[in-house]
Amino acid sequence: MSSNKRGNEYNALVRLVVKMPRPVRILFFVVLIAAMLVLTMVAIKSVAGQPAGAPTATPTAAPTYTPTAQPTGTPVATPTVAPTETPTAEPTEEPTATPEPTPSPEPTPVVYDTSFVMPDGNVRPIAVVLDPNGSYLTGVKEAQLVYEMVGEKGASTMMALYWDKPTGLQVGKLGSARHYMINIAAEHQAMIYSKGASVYAKAEAAQKLFGVKLFNSEDNIKNVFASSSSGVLLNISAVESHWANEKVTTTLSKSNLVFKYAESTETPTVGKKAVEVLLPFSSSYTTCFTWDPDKHLYLRWRNDMPQFDQTTGEQLTAANIIVLKMDSYDIDGDADGMQEVNMIGSGVGWFVTEGMAQQIIWSKSSRDGALSIKTSTGADVVLNPGQTWITILPTSSNERIN
């Protein structure tokens, strides 16, 4: 449209507005201004990114669902829900309980020498000198230890030790005491009983060394000694009252056992077989022990003859045999051939038990020192429960263990 035409139209519009009544003209301007405001707002929203004239969305409310009532009397079918199958639990296998191990019972100690009474280290023992060269010996079975050592003229002499005092027991026949027996008794703190004594033994006893006392049947001691056709015997059960008169204590303040004992009989795992043990003191006198596997004891022989207890008729036995080789020699100038035995120092020997023999080493540092006996490995010799014979041989002796 040309600009002249627009001008004519505008002029006509102005003339029309002027000719309007005043109230109409005012309303016209109000409407015009409102229209201009609306157009201005539309322009502003269009600039902000909203397309001009786009209707504003009014959210429509979700229709409310009203369930249709079922006719009265018509049953409503309720769908049957299929039961959910519950899986059956597999049975849980109970773990097999491991049974508690049954504790093994403590082994019952086996002691083959059932009559043996274990020494009590707090009890003072009795040392009884015996004469092994005659045909009569009795009461020896009840001793815990029996020493046999060199005597005069190639024979031997013996001394048995008792820790128990059986009522009515008589021991004999008694022999004559020798001075080296006092050293042995001192190791055990024993009191010695004998029939007679050498001059050397009497001199040693007079010094009261180590507290050892020598009670000689020739000293007219009443009740303790008994005479028989076979010789002099000792009444063991009378010793306690005799000690009370002599003020000898029957118990020791300190336990004193020279040897150690096992609780039950054990067989050594080292060593050599020992079925026969020959112990020659001289060419005219030999002691022998032979192994009895049924009794688990060694049987004693003297010069190829079995040696018996004359009261019981039983052959003498030993559960343990200890052989100690020591220097011995005639005492110079002694007309009776009395012997000296050197018990100080060290030497070799044997420990024999349960049909086995082991080499041992003995040592003693002084007269009042303790005797030590060890195996070749340095372990202490441990005795089996039962009577033990300790044989002291000259170093020149040729013992044989077969």
**Helices then strands, each counted (H, E), the chain:** 5, 24
Lookup: tokens for 319: 């559960």
Q: Which helix (H) or strand (E) holds 130?
A: strand 126-130
Does the N-terminal peptide bond of residue 325 adopt cis geometry, omega within 30 degrees of 0?
no
E-assigned strand segments in 217-369: 225-228, 231-235, 260-261, 272-273, 276-282, 285-292, 297-302, 305-306, 317-318, 320-326, 328-330, 339-341, 345-353, 356-364
Lookup: tokens for 6: 């627009």
Extents of the domains making up the chain: 126-401
The secondary structure of 327-392 as a DSSP string is: -EEEPTT-TT--EEE--SEEEEEEEEETTEEEEEEEEESSTTSPPEEEETTSPBPEEPSS-EEEEE
Closest among 354, 181, 331, 333 to 264, alpha carbons compared? 354
Write down the pTM of the prediction: 0.73
What φ, ψ does residue 358 adopt, rounded to 5°?
A: -125, 140
What's the CA gap between 49 and 43, in Å, rounded?
10
Q: Which helix (H) or strand (E) holds 193?
A: strand 191-194
Q: Under a CB-based contact definition with an 8 Å cutoff, are residues 116 and 162 in contact?
A: no
pLDDT per residue of the chain (402 residues) written in tens, 0 to 9 = 555 555 555 566 656 766 777 777 787 777 778 778 877 776 676 655 544 444 444 444 444 444 444 444 444 444 555 555 555 555 556 556 666 777 666 666 688 878 899 999 999 999 999 998 877 899 999 999 999 999 998 899 999 999 999 999 999 999 999 999 999 999 999 999 999 999 999 999 998 878 899 999 998 888 999 998 889 999 999 999 999 999 999 999 888 899 999 999 999 999 999 999 999 999 889 999 999 999 999 999 999 999 999 989 999 999 999 999 999 999 999 999 999 999 999 999 999 999 999 999 999 998 878 899 999 889 999 999 999 999 999 999 999 999
Write the Ramachandran bin of 272: left for phi over 0, alpha for psi from -120 to 50, otherwise beta: beta
Query: What is the CATH code for 126-401?
Result: 3.50.90.10
What's the CA gap between 251 and 257, in Å, rounded?
13
Q: Which residues pair with 305 in a beta bridge?
A: 302
Residue 14 CB-density burial (10 A; 0-12 exposed, 13-18 middle, 19+ buried): exposed
